[in-house]
Amino acid sequence: MAAKREQEPITMDTFLSGLWRENPVFVMLLGMCPVLAVTNTTENALAMGLATTFVLVCSTGLVSILRDFIPKEVRIASYIVIIATFVTVVDYAIQAISLEIYNALGAFIQLIVANCMILGRAEAFASRQPLGKTLVDALGVGAGFTLALLCLGTVRELLGAGEILGVQVFPDGFEPWVIMLLPPGGFFVLAGWLLLFAWLKERQNQRAAAAKEATADGR
Amino acid sequence: MSAADSTQAPQAPSPTSSLRLVFTLGLIALCSGLLVVSVVEWTRPIIADNHERALQQAVFDVIPGAVERRDFVLTEQGLVPKEETDARGEVIHAGYTEDGALAGIALEASGRGYADVIRILYGYDPACECIVGMSVLESQETPGLGDRIETDPDFLGSIEGLDASLTEDGTELKHGIRTVDPGEREEPGDIDGITGATVSAEAIGDMLHRSANKQLPQLQGHWSELERNE
Amino acid sequence: MDADSLSYIFLNAAIINNFVLALFLGICPILGVSGKLGTAFPMGVASAFVMLIASLAAYGINIVLGYFELEFLSLIAYIAVIASAVQLVEMVVKKFSPPLYRALGIFLPLITTNCAILGVALFQTSYEYDFLQSLTYSLGAGAGFILAIVLMAGLREQVDLADVPSVARGAAMSLMLAGVLSLAFMGFAGLGG
């Protein structure tokens, strides 16, 4: 697949596939730990998504530049060192930007290192593709990851606190579902999104099958 | 990283020479080291400034009327400004009002709550011998239940002005600080509990008592050293 | 119990703040390898072993880096040590149990990117645990991880036999099971308090 892609020009599709069709969270089920852990508010989800995207773009970019230079035997070790470097950079940058966000995300900023999505992208895509394409792909995957985090974050904050980005949405009479902010809520909301996507996909398949049958009957 | 080098070296039976592997990894480690160091150096003052401002805000929150802060450490020679000593020990944040009078001191305390360790900062005013404010620095308490220790008005209200006077001989608190059931305060050292956050509220009372009981007797007789000498 | 006592640290890491079900660390292997009890248990043991190595190494790294005042390099050092330890485990498993090596397959090298292991190193540093406490903490975290992955595997083996609607098969079902387990584990909060 990778060899075929090399001939193709950079298209919108490279970006969109990471964002939607091969969404790292909903489709590939990668990098779940931060997805569940820091999505109890929309703000945290956004910060985490942006931090991860930054690390993803920088490290896959560098891997792509160095792809002919790094011997195959030490590639994983090299990738991990590169990723860890950028995570340390992000760690200090967030501390400098806002201590509040830093305290809210806690150890999960440093745990970006262990996000299998980034290592996976570096190994499967960046190590074989030129810089431009790698960057577009990384941006797409990063955007998909951020989107997924936001999907969870908004639902959990809305139901768990009746707010979005700290602005009250539901009237005072709304009793918050505190469980949504707690660990089980993370599992349930993600399961809910997966169910929704599975249902949509199944309906799409059924429609396609029905359409096919109809054309077959018509002949 | 040398650790990474040593693992990769045994993989020598490969087309690439192990020298080249070590060289590549060393080069990458060098570059990453340089990048990290430059970012750390660049952000260090900003981060220190952020911490400083957060602490300043927390101290002013728990000492009503304070607009200026100085840090002290209790040593054998009495209270010494933090910047003048290397001695380690509990830091005492002293807050001063606009005209330079001592408004109170802020002390840190911590203890185990319901979910994890809770860290608080509380203000003590030597003039009224009472606790004047409390703010939670760090907690993992259950949202909506345990975290009401940060918002419950009765609970926080009963901490403000809480008696923390010492016995005649100055070795311990006259009235032990404890958290009781909501609306059942009898002793001067009682704090109103919170329904649904019993454990968290009791943990706060407990850590206030332990910290005050230990630190205030030690500070006895040193209050004058906190007065500004300008 | 005192918050710093060894028994509390163990209990806290294993059950109260279970790494998987309360702190969301190591979800990937939990979803990936927990299909069968036969592979889940060895996977848990291998991860717990790497955790132990990572914890001991992190303790040493902290001393060395603290001495040279290079704390900002700690993250890079931890991950390098973890990657090395994982390769060690991989070689051992490959040599002594080839069937197990094939069963664990791709997930064995992925222990490197198991956040639970890096998490042990990071948390024990932020809690400023001494040597014995770090050791206890990593043992507790390992026990908690094994417990979670075995529980998940047991539940999933049962669910495989049940008549689940087709949309809910697979990951969504596993996540819901994890959610229910997580609810159950919430009941342990306040234990020992």
Nearest Cα neighbor of C48 from C141, C154, C148, C151 is: C141
Q: How far is B165 from chain A (nearest CA, A)?
A: 35
- How many Å apart are CA A43 and CA A153, to the nearest integer? 8
Cβ of B1 within 8 Å of Cβ of C77? The answer is yes
pLDDT class of B229 with cuts at 50, 70, 90: low
- Model confidence at B97: pLDDT above 90: no
Chain A interface disruption, residue of C18, C31, C76, most A CBs within 10 A: C76
Other Cβ atoms less than 10 A from the Cβ of A6: the count is 10
Please write the tens of the pLDDT for every residue from C76-123. Answer: 888 888 888 888 888 888 888 888 788 776 667 777 778 888 889 888
Token duo for residue C6? 């060894």
Average pLDDT over residues C11-26: 85
Nearest Cα neighbor of A141 from A122, A123, A121 is: A121
**Same domain for B78 and B165?**
yes
**Same domain for B139 and B218?**
yes
Domain boundaries in chain C? Answer: 6-177
- How many Å apart are CA A198 and CA A205, to the nearest integer? 10
Average pLDDT over residues B83-107: 82
- Check residue C45 and give its pLDDT: 86
**Same domain for B41 and B73?**
no
Instruction: Tell whether B61 is covered by a domain.
Output: no
Chain C interface disruption, residue of A87, A90, A115, A194, most C CBs within 10 A: A194
- Check residue A218 and give its pLDDT: 64
**Same domain for B92 and B39?**
no
Q: In this predicted model, which residue has the larger pLDDT, C156 or A33?
A: C156
Residue C23 in contact with partner chain A when CB distance is under 8 A: yes
Beta bridge partners of B163: B130
Percent of chain A with pLDDT over 70: 94
- Check residue B15 and give its pLDDT: 62
**Same domain for B95 and B145?**
yes
- How many Å apart are CA A186 and CA B173, to the nearest integer? 45
Q: What would the DSSP string read from start to end of chain B?
A: -HHHHHHHGGG-SSSS-HHHHHHHHHHHHHHHHHHHHHHHHHHHHHHHHHHHHHHHHHHHHHSTT--EEEEEEEETTEEEEGGG----S-EEEEEE-TTS-EEEEEEEEEEE-SSSEEEEEEEEETTTTEEEEEEEEE--PPTTTGGGGGT-HHHHHHHTTEE-PBPTTSSSBSS--EEESTT---STTEEE--TT-HHHHHHHHHHHHHHHHHHHHHHTT-HHHHS---
Cβ of A99 within 8 Å of Cβ of B7? The answer is no
Average pLDDT over residues B5-15: 46
* C181 within 8 A of C151, measured Cβ to Cβ: yes
- How many Å apart are CA A50 and CA A68, to the nearest integer? 29
Domain enclosing residue B12, as ranges: 2-49
- How many Å apart are CA B93 and CA B74, to the nearest integer? 11
Q: How far is A194 from chain C (nearest CA, A)?
A: 6
Instruction: Tell whether B167 is covered by a domain.
Output: yes
Please write the tens of the pLDDT for every residue from B71-91. Answer: 888 877 777 787 777 777 778
Instruction: Indicate the residue of B1, B36, B199 with minimum beta-carbon distance to C80.
Output: B1
H or E element in which residue A163 lies: strand A163-164
Other Cβ atoms less than 10 A from the Cβ of A34: the count is 29
Cβ of A176 within 8 Å of Cβ of B36? The answer is no
Q: Which residues of B touch A93 (CB under 8 A)?
A: 39, 43
Q: Which residues of B touch A59 (CB under 8 A)?
A: none
Cβ of C72 within 8 Å of Cβ of B40? The answer is yes
Instruction: Tell whether B59 is covered by a domain.
Output: no
Q: Which residues of B touch C17 (CB under 8 A)?
A: 115-116
Cβ of A194 within 8 Å of Cβ of C175? The answer is yes
User: Helices (DSSP H) in A98-166: which residue ranges?
Assistant: 99-105, 116-121, 131-161
Instruction: Indicate the residue of A29, A111, A195 with minimum beta-carbon distance to C167.
Output: A195
Q: How far is B172 from chain A (nearest CA, A)?
A: 35
- Check residue C105 and give its pLDDT: 67
Q: What amino acid is encoded at A71 in this protein?
A: P
Q: Mean pLDDT in chain B?
A: 81
The pair phi, psi for residue B109, each rounded to 5°, is -145, 155
Q: Which residues of A touch C144 (CB under 8 A)?
A: none
Q: How far is B29 from chain A (nearest CA, A)?
A: 7
ipTM score of complex: 0.83
Cβ of B7 within 8 Å of Cβ of C72? The answer is no
Please write the tens of the pLDDT for every residue from B149-196. Answer: 888 888 888 888 888 888 888 788 888 888 888 877 888 888 888 887
Nearest Cα neighbor of A106 from A48, A32, A190, A182 is: A48
Instruction: Tell whether B54 is covered by a domain.
Output: no
Beta bridge partners of B109: B120
pLDDT class of B2 with cuts at 50, 70, 90: very low
Q: Mean pLDDT in chain A?
A: 84
Chain C interface disruption, residue of B6, B7, B110, most C CBs within 10 A: B7
A neighbour chains, 3+ CB pairs within 8 Å: B, C
A29-33, A107-111, A119-123, A129-133: range with lowest mean pLDDT: A29-33
Instruction: Indicate the residue of A116, A187, A198 with minimum beta-carbon distance to C179.
Output: A187
**Same domain for B99 and B160?**
yes
Query: Which residue of chain B is at minimal alpha-carbon distance from C17?
Result: B115
Q: How far is C182 from chain A (nearest CA, A)?
A: 5
Q: Which residues of B touch A108 (CB under 8 A)?
A: none
Cβ of C73 within 8 Å of Cβ of B36? The answer is yes
Q: Scan for tokens 């991880």, then name that residue.
A: C145
* A86 within 8 A of A54, measured Cβ to Cβ: yes
Q: Which residues of C touch B146 (CB under 8 A)?
A: none
The chain A residues in contact with chain B (CB within 8 A) are 40, 66, 69-74, 77-78, 80-82, 84-85, 88-89, 92-93, 95-96, 98-99, 103, 160-161, 176, 178, 181-182
B16 burial level (CB within 10 Å; 0-12, 13-18, 19+): middle
Average pLDDT over residues A48-59: 93
H or E element in which residue A164 lies: strand A163-164
**Same domain for B128 and B189?**
yes
* A133 within 8 A of A10, measured Cβ to Cβ: yes
Instruction: Tell whether B127 is covered by a domain.
Output: yes
- Check residue B10 and give its pLDDT: 46
Cβ of B35 within 8 Å of Cβ of A82? The answer is no
Average pLDDT over residues B103-119: 83
Q: Which residues of C touch A31 (CB under 8 A)?
A: 28
Q: Which residues of A touch B25 (CB under 8 A)?
A: 74, 77-78, 81
Residue B80 in contact with partner chain A when CB distance is under 8 A: no
The alpha carbon torsion through C98, C99, C103, C105 (nearest 10 deg) reads 20
* B174 within 8 A of B165, measured Cβ to Cβ: yes
Instruction: Tell whether B151 is covered by a domain.
Output: yes
Pairing mode, strands A167-168 and B117-125? unpaired
Q: How many domains does chain B have?
A: 2
* A81 within 8 A of A10, measured Cβ to Cβ: no
Residues sharing a CB contact under 8 Å with residue B68, sequence separation 6 or more, in sequence order = B95, B96, B100
Instruction: Tell whether B55 is covered by a domain.
Output: no
**Same domain for B38 and B84?**
no
Q: What is the pTM of this model?
A: 0.82
